[in-house]
Amino acid sequence: MTNEKIVILGDIGTKPGSMKKIILSCLWGMGMFFLSLSLFASPRPEEVLERLVGRVVPDLRHKIVFRVDSTRKSDFFRISKMEGSPACTVLIEGDSPVSAASGLNWYLKYYCGSSLSFCGDRIAVPDSLPLPRTPVEIDAPHRHSFYMNYCTFGYSTAYWDWERWEREIDLMALNGVTTPMAMVGAEAVWRNTLRRFGYSDDEIGRFLPGPPFLAWFLMGNLEGQGGPLPDEWFGRQEALQKKIVARMREYGMKPVFQGFFGMVPSDLKDKYPDAHLISQGRWNGLTRPPVLDPSDPLFDRMAAVWYEEYEKLFGKADYFGGDLFHEGGLTGGLDVAMAAGRVQRAMRTANPDAVWMIQAWGENPKESLLKGLDPSHTIVVDICAEYWSRWQERGAFGGFPWIWAHLTNYGGNVGLHGRLQAIAEGPVRGLKDLAAGHWMAGVGTAPEGIEVNPVAFELGFEMRWRDTVPDVERWISDYARRRYGSSSEVVDSAWRIFLRTAYGTYDGSRRPSESVFCAQPSLKGQNITASAWSQCKIYYDPALFARGVALFLQAAPELKDCATYCYDAVDFVRQYLADQGREAYYGLTEAFRSGDRQRFDSLSGRFLGLIADQDSLLTAHPGFHVAHWLEQARAASDDPRIQDLYEYNARLLIGTWTPFRSSVRDYAHKEWGGMLRDYYLPRWKGYLDYLARHWNDRNTVLLREGRSALRQGDGEGRVHGTPALPVKPVALPPDDRPDSFPQETEWVRANNRYVPDTTGNPADRAVALFAKYESQQ
């Protein structure tokens, strides 16, 4: 072979000048070869961290040195002065890039007084970098830090581009996340898998839903809604996921992919008549895909193809999500332990090291399901442990590794909420529990939506590095100081009040208190809700909260040029206006029932004015405006027809949720500028006009309201209160009660453009509106 090469080169070299060309060509080829290696080879861990600094705190470039010691068996970071270097050089060490990044964030927070979050940054880098007097080393008491929730991929990340994902992954690293869910691109795996089982692209299109609904599709709750997906979507998401998992792996994170648990298209029997399918019934009026019996020979074939296609696209994974019988799924007489064991066996056939990460939600995972699993290849994520203690009640789920995770947000709703004391205490309580502590595998943050309530998420992430309960009052003061760069006494006092009000931990307060502005109009009074499973009542003293807002706004002259202060000023006044609206609503319903027309008219005007003013406030900040969400959707394509499809899906999710009336209507309600004006205000105005028209026939209205309450319930079999009058089987006059669903549907299908009003300072507008309503008290 070698002689043959010499002869060929010799023959070519007989031409004048050809040897020089050959040498240059070889050098060029070698150069391109090594360049390609440099492009595709994984960067050094220290290089990954240096790039992180360049993106988030470029002023610290060349002032921080990183060292990653992967031989350490425990997760740790260490902050010290770089020996033999100028006094301004900081050395940060860790067992992995994500641990060292956590050390960087700890240094920024507790030495530089900086704050980074998905609700704004305030970065302060002193000219002379502060150093700990002695090296600070912190070992993580928790091996895993789990992040995200299936719903997050619907309510928040559905249309993110790489720039936004890159930012989020950097925040994950800075906050110590080791095991993030990585569900982007799972639809491409589905398409590739189904093609191999005889499905055409048109048939696949009827199965896969629109972008924001893919989250509930992966949970087995629906199929097809909002689809079909255009062909370009698959290429976009595949390319995006490759970048996402590459960056996660550079940091040393272990992404969680979607496992195959048997969910299949409803029409699978048309192609495989002998397949044993278990119907899963309906979920909020939507048809759930059936589950293929894991003992059916077809299951192993489909699972093998699924994992093969996943690995082809995105590489090998050690962790997989996916839940059998999620939120009311039917077992259909299956041997549940057998079924679960076969699902896990298929995972481990694809990767012997595979771990199934199962959500603890409702009654799941059933004890019968866990009986079929190998605990050494299973982790149970208790995703609402800040409220429930399933991990404790079920004794570490019968001896399975488990993760304490807080949920905090539902539906991407905007209301202030965060059970801070519970978030601070829960992981430590789990760690020290005599029965369950041995099995505790980590902590987690599992919100349905993000880009809200940054304080709750910062505390939750930080608990990965704490084995004792922090003094939350002191912690909150430190948080405020670094978020605004001020030691203002009024701001500190305000946050102490917020800790005792909106961010307090109360019995029964699982979810954010919903804004009555976003509720379906009715006379339910204190039983009114915006979504089917929550409440509009609040558990704190609104007068005390208002006092906190007043104190906070006293710092506006000093801090209104601070972006994080502006964000929070708008958020706190938004909550204040929602609280005022709740009281106005309670008053007008009482006035209607008692026949006090003057009070009813006065409070109706105040209520509608509050909605309009809240819209004005939120329009002043892009982070609280519907344009932010809708433009993300349109930016996902350059084709106007596809943009309209994406926008329709985006509006559907935050509006009626389904194209028909269902119990998830308004579940993802948003107090956002533009949406308050065009979606919520018209339906409340129509309803209050209806009540005014029927003032002299209030008994009939109340009878209808009572019947409506009995008919609708709250989605959990309960009824919203008791009708004011007995509901008798009497004939009533024709009902002209306004039906807002057609108007809501019209908004969902519209594509009018929204633009925030950024002409003034948002904090100034917050101060003015707060003063307007406080003067009326």
Encode pLDDT of 120-131 as tens digits. 999 999 888 998
pLDDT at 708: 62
Q: Cα 413 vs. chain centroid, distance in angstroms?
A: 10
Q: Are 645 and 210 in contact (CB under 8 A)?
A: yes
Is the CATH code 3.30.379.10 the one for domain 49-139? yes
CATH of domain 144-470: 3.20.20.80
- DSSP-H helix ranges across 219-327: 231-250, 268-271, 297-314
pLDDT at 12: 32
Cα distances from 354 to residues 215, 338, 339, 343, in angstroms, run 22, 18, 17, 11
pLDDT in tens, 512-535: 999 999 999 999 999 999 999 998
Encode 531-562 in three state secondary structure: CCCCCCCCCCCHHHHHHHHHHHHCCHHHHCCC
pLDDT in tens, 370-402: 999 999 999 999 999 999 999 999 999 999 999
Cα separation, 449 vs 429, whole angstroms: 26
Q: Are 494 and 551 in contact (CB under 8 A)?
A: yes
Summarize the confidence of residues 16-24 as an average pLDDT.
Answer: 47
pLDDT at 707: 63
3-state secondary structure at position 94: strand
Confidence of residue 86 (pLDDT cuts 50, 70, 90): low
Residues in Cβ contact with 756 at an 8 Å cutoff, skipping those fewer than 6 apart: 619, 620, 621, 622, 625, 627, 628, 673
Phi, psi torsion values for 238, nearest 5 degrees:
-65, -45
Residue 492 has pLDDT above 60, yes or no: yes
Which tokens go with 552?
Answer: 């906070």
pLDDT at 733: 63
pLDDT at 719: 33
Q: Are 213 and 649 in contact (CB under 8 A)?
A: yes
With DSSP H G I counted as helix, E B as strand and the rest as coil, what are the percentages for the chain, rounded to 5?
A: 50, 10, 40
Confidence of residue 727 (pLDDT cuts 50, 70, 90): very low
Give the closest residue to 650 by CA, choosing from 211, 4, 161: 211
Residue 29 has pLDDT above 60, yes or no: no
Cα separation, 554 vs 291, whole angstroms: 58
Q: Which residue is associated with the tokens 């070519």?
A: 12
Q: Taking the domains of the chain in order of start, what are their residue ranges?
A: 2-40, 49-139, 144-470, 516-545+563-774
Residue 426 has pLDDT above 50, yes or no: yes
Residue 201 has pLDDT above 50, yes or no: yes
Phi, psi torsion values for 562, nearest 5 degrees:
-90, 120
Fold classified for 516-545+563-774 = Four Helix Bundle (Hemerythrin (Met), subunit A) (1.20.120)
Q: Report the DSSP pairing between strands 402-406 and 378-382.
A: parallel
pLDDT in tens, 303-337: 999 999 999 999 999 999 999 998 988 999 999 99
Residue 178 has pLDDT above 60, yes or no: yes
Cα separation, 623 vs 625, whole angstroms: 6
pLDDT at 777: 80
pLDDT in tens, 604-649: 999 999 999 999 999 999 999 999 999 999 999 999 999 999 999 9
Q: Are 324 and 292 in contact (CB under 8 A)?
A: no
pLDDT at 42: 83
Confidence of residue 714 (pLDDT cuts 50, 70, 90): very low
pLDDT at 15: 42
Summarize the confidence of residues 195-204 as an average pLDDT.
Answer: 98
Q: Are 217 and 209 in contact (CB under 8 A)?
A: yes
Range of lowest pLDDT (221-235, 361-375, 732-746, 757-771) = 732-746
Q: Cα 605 vs. chain centroid, distance in angstroms?
A: 36
Summarize the confidence of residues 159-186 as an average pLDDT.
Answer: 98
Confidence of residue 83 (pLDDT cuts 50, 70, 90): confident
pLDDT at 476: 98
Mean pLDDT of the chain: 92
Which residues are registered as beta bridge partners of 256? Answer: 181, 319
Confidence of residue 76 (pLDDT cuts 50, 70, 90): very high
Q: Are 286 and 222 in contact (CB under 8 A)?
A: yes
Which residues are registered as beta bridge partners of 137? Answer: 78
Residue 2 has pLDDT above 70, yes or no: no
pLDDT at 721: 37
Cα separation, 441 vs 438, whole angstroms: 8
pLDDT at 171: 98
Which tokens go with 473?
Answer: 């009052």
Which of 724 and 233 is assigned the larger pLDDT? 233
